[in-house]
Amino acid sequence: MVARAFHDAIPPFTLSFWRWTLALAILLPFVARPMWQHRAQLRQAGWRLLLVATLGICNFSVLLYFAARTTVAINLTLLNTCLPLATFIGAGILLNEWPKRRAWLGMIVATVGLLVLIAQGSGAQLMALTFNPGDLIMLAAVIDWALYTLLLRRWSAYFQLPPLVLLGAMIVCGVTLLLPGYLLELASGQHFEPTVDNFAAIGYTGVAASLLAYLLWNHGIRVLGVAKAVLTNYLMPVFTALLGYLLLGEGLQAYHWLGGAMIFAGLLLATRPSLR
């Protein structure tokens, strides 16, 4: 939502660069010394660490912000439904961890629930959705994120580091990779105005969407595994509806309850070890 709201105000590489620079500035005082102490393990991770940082820190945010320039928030949400499918297939190919049939069924139920939310319970509204060039960019971002998630799991033996140390090393790599793109935007005259709203957008993405979200996501992949973790993606529109109700006074309609219930049912079906 922030990406879409500020697509005209802050250029893609600029928002990505300052988002991660802020995250690094907050994190570095706490991880500089531990990173030095774990330098041997970081060197051993080597190109693997650089690749996951390229996928998760650099590529994903830039692709998302470019996509938000030419498509709408509802399409960005709809295309996120491809993430569990891409990850399920990738887990089978890269990790030899094909999800169980119950997980596939749960994904289908959750997907239908998400479509109910997006279409607001109307089949005609769902059929009226149009797609833009930015949707292809968002699809590339989804595949990029799925690969990031899978490689974190596949190379977990190389990433046996304290979570803050691993994230700090990834951000250092990511900021370095983002710097040339940011400088090119500056050279072409693209920049953002120093307004309160723009600083708030950078602050939110730097703290909540970068530090907190990545720490929790990486931990979830480590504890739950890929198949269970990616299914939580379906909760984003549910939280959006709830936040709209709590913060913006937007009413909850029947389709919110129906879609949300189907999403939760799909997640329970896919993740519970046994169900009566």
pLDDT of residue 109: 78
Q: At residue 76, what is the residue type?
A: L
pLDDT of residue 73: 66
Where in the chain are the domains? 2-99+126-231
**For a pLDDT cut of 70, what percent of the chain falls above it?**
85
For 161-193, write each residue's pLDDT tens digit.
Answer: 999 999 999 999 999 999 999 999 999 988 888
For 144-165, write each residue's pLDDT tens digit.
Answer: 988 998 998 889 889 989 999 9
Q: Which residues of the chain have pLDDT under 50?
A: none
pLDDT of residue 41: 93
Residues 6 or more apart whose Cβ sits within 8 Å of residue 234: 81, 84, 110, 111, 113, 114, 263, 266, 267
